[in-house]
Amino acid sequence: MFVGVGAARVRDLFEQAKAQAPCIVFIDELDAIGRQRGVHIGAVNDEREQTLNQLLVEMDGFEANNGIIILSATNRPDVLDRALLRPGRFDRQVVVDAPDLEGRLAVLKVHCRQKPLAQEVDLRRIAQSTPGFSGADLANGTNEAALLAARRGAKEIAQIDLENAIEKVVAGPERKSRRLNDEERKRVAYHETGHALVAAYSKIADPVHKISIVPRGRAALGYTMQLPVDDQFLSTRSNLIDRLQGLLGGRAAEEVVYHEVSTGAQNDLERATALARQMVCLYGMSDRVGLAQCGQPQNAMYIPSADGSFQRDCSEQTAREVDEEVKRLLTEAYASAKSILGTHSDQLEQVATELIKRETLDGSAFYQLLGLPMPKGSVGEPPPIPPVLGS
Ligand code: ZN
């Protein structure tokens, strides 16, 4: 409303900082004021640009030794004004990626400090089962666990609360209102069992952690959770082929059992297609298309875009070849998924029946049904629910 107030505040901030020196000035969500100038129109932007200009001026006015360090954080480094990143301003960038196993363990410890944990709680196991989680996701998970414990009437957070909370963060809350009829439930059970079986009989797929046919917010009608044994930073071609196969396992199971497919595989197909396209265009994993990269990541600055999408960057001719290669990869993966399920059709039947009865199967129950040992290093069965206190 009052143009110039932002700039005045920035001036004021730096005056205070100089008075307090030595000190650290921390600006969170820098992109709120540091967006590239001149790309939008309107009074709001005038105001923001003035604020940004003032910030730039103040940062230039620093003597090397006046004892003020400016730190700021953003998750949109790509939209920042270039001038902010010049030498002498924000010239050192530290990319804070999603935490690794040890990092997650440390973050969990911080967020559990004020919460009463049961003795049996094994935070390392929670850290193991949350690859890709950000600090905020983990905080969310621990809060959710506290709520679940309170709802049970317990005085302490148990391991099972944490595990359920993580599941809720991953797949959304259970949808009790979404009632599937028996026929649909059966189909979903075969579908999910298909994913799990293909993963279990693939050479290097991640171990199955949980299969469920309880409808949840984000995960539509059911889901199969696979967890890597370790944090993975590199995937080999065989890894990715196995993952493709696993993604298509659901649809393959429907076809093997019903000789007809349903709409339930839409999300699987979307993910499998995206993965196959990445293999061909970005990782040079197709002999026919070769090593030349034919895509540009959408968001090249520091953070890869979450959905792995990218822009095509090749001739029409190559684009056609890419399409054919993607199709070939998917067809081959689908065929081998189907052949795995054909070979183990009795187990498909057996696990699906069990799944319909119990709604969820955890990894150890699943491997036990198959008569296979638990894959080494996988996250085992959660401890039993402790007795409820005071109710
Ligand atoms: Zn599926």
Q: How confident is the model at residue 235 (pLDDT cuts 50, 70, 90)?
A: confident
Question: Which amino acid type is present at position 290?
Answer: G
- Is residue 264 a contact partner of residue 223, using CB atoms and an 8 Å limit? no
Average pLDDT over residues 200-205: 87
Give CA separation, 132 vs 92, 97, 144, in Å.
Answer: 25, 9, 18
Which residues are within 8 A (CB) of 255 and not within 5 positions of it... i.e. 6 or more apart?
261, 338
Q: How confident is the model at residue 227 (pLDDT cuts 50, 70, 90)?
A: confident
| Distance from residue 200's CA to the centre of ligand 1 (Å) | 15
| Distance from residue 265's CA to the centre of ligand 1 (Å) | 5
The structure tokens listed for 211 are 């299969």
User: Higher pLDDT residue, 150 or 303?
Assistant: 150
| Distance from residue 221's CA to the centre of ligand 1 (Å) | 9
- Which of 84-93, 168-177, 301-310 ranks highest by mean pLDDT? 84-93
Question: What pLDDT is attached to residue 307?
Answer: 55
Classify strands 208-212 and 295-297 as parallel, antiparallel or unpaired. Answer: unpaired
Question: What pLDDT is attached to residue 94?
Answer: 86
220: left (phi over 0), alpha (psi -120 to 50) or beta: left
Q: Point out the least confidently predicted range of 60-74, 124-138, 349-363.
A: 60-74
Give CA separation, 334 vs 243, 314, 329, in Å.
Answer: 11, 27, 9
- Is residue 36 a contact partner of residue 81, using CB atoms and an 8 Å limit? yes
Q: How confident is the model at residue 351 (pLDDT cuts 50, 70, 90)?
A: very high
Question: What pLDDT is attached to residue 18?
Answer: 84
Question: What pLDDT is attached to residue 151?
Answer: 92
| Distance from residue 344's CA to the centre of ligand 1 (Å) | 18
Q: Point out the least confidently predicted range of 61-75, 117-131, 294-308.
A: 294-308
| Distance from residue 216's CA to the centre of ligand 1 (Å) | 13
User: What DSSP letter does each residue of 67-112 carry, written as one string?
Assistant: -EEEEE--S-GGGB-GGGGSTTSS------PSP-HHHHHHHHHHHH
The structure tokens listed for 34 are 């540091």
Is the model's pLDDT at 158 over the cut of 50?
yes
Q: Which residues of 313-337 are buried (b: 16+ CB within 10 A; e: fewer)?
A: ebeeebeebbeebbeebbeebbebb
Q: How far apart are CA 216 and CA 223, in angstroms?
A: 9
Give CA separation, 181 vs 188, 190, 191, in Å.
Answer: 11, 15, 15
pLDDT for 358-369, tens place per residue?
Answer: 888 888 889 988
Q: How far apart are CA 343 and CA 337, in angstroms?
A: 10
| Distance from residue 69's CA to the centre of ligand 1 (Å) | 50
Question: What pLDDT is attached to residue 130?
Answer: 84
| Distance from residue 196's CA to the centre of ligand 1 (Å) | 10
| Distance from residue 254's CA to the centre of ligand 1 (Å) | 10
Q: How confident is the model at residue 233 (pLDDT cuts 50, 70, 90)?
A: confident
Q: How confident is the model at residue 219 (pLDDT cuts 50, 70, 90)?
A: low
User: Closest Cα partner for 115 from 154, 78, 81, 85?
Assistant: 154
User: Higher pLDDT residue, 335 or 4?
Assistant: 335
User: Closest Cα partner for 340 from 262, 252, 278, 261?
Assistant: 252
User: What DSSP letter does each residue of 5-72 carry, written as one string?
Assistant: HHHHHHHHHHHHHHHH-SEEEEESSTHHHHBPTTSS-SHHHHHHHHHHHHHHHHHHT--TTS-EEEEE
Average pLDDT over residues 9-27: 86
- Which of 21-30, 337-346, 374-383 ranks highest by mean pLDDT? 337-346
Q: How confident is the model at residue 254 (pLDDT cuts 50, 70, 90)?
A: very high
Residue with tokens 């034919």, as numbered in its chain: 294
For residue 22, is the peptide bond before it cis, meaning its omega torsion is within 30 degrees of 0? Answer: yes
| Distance from residue 106's CA to the centre of ligand 1 (Å) | 33
Percent of the chain with pLDDT over 90: 29
Question: What pLDDT is attached to residue 383?
Answer: 44
Is the model's pLDDT at 253 over the cut of 90?
yes
| Distance from residue 328's CA to the centre of ligand 1 (Å) | 20
Domains of the chain and CATH, by start: 5-85 (3.40.50.300), 101-171 (1.10.8.60), 182-370 (1.20.58.760)
Count the neighbouring beta carbons within 10 Å of the beta carbon of residue 373: 8
Question: What pLDDT is attached to residue 175?
Answer: 74
Average pLDDT over residues 359-381: 78
Classify strands 23-27 and 68-72 as parallel, antiparallel or unpaired. Answer: parallel
Q: How far apart are CA 200 and CA 276, in angstroms?
A: 21
pLDDT for 60-98, tens place per residue?
Answer: 766 655 788 888 988 888 788 888 888 888 888 888 878
Question: What pLDDT is attached to residue 172?
Answer: 77
- Which of 2-11, 75-84, 197-206, 295-304 ranks highest by mean pLDDT? 197-206
Average pLDDT, the chain: 83
Percent of the chain with pLDDT over 70: 86
Question: What pLDDT is attached to residue 331?
Answer: 96
Catalytic residue numbers? 192
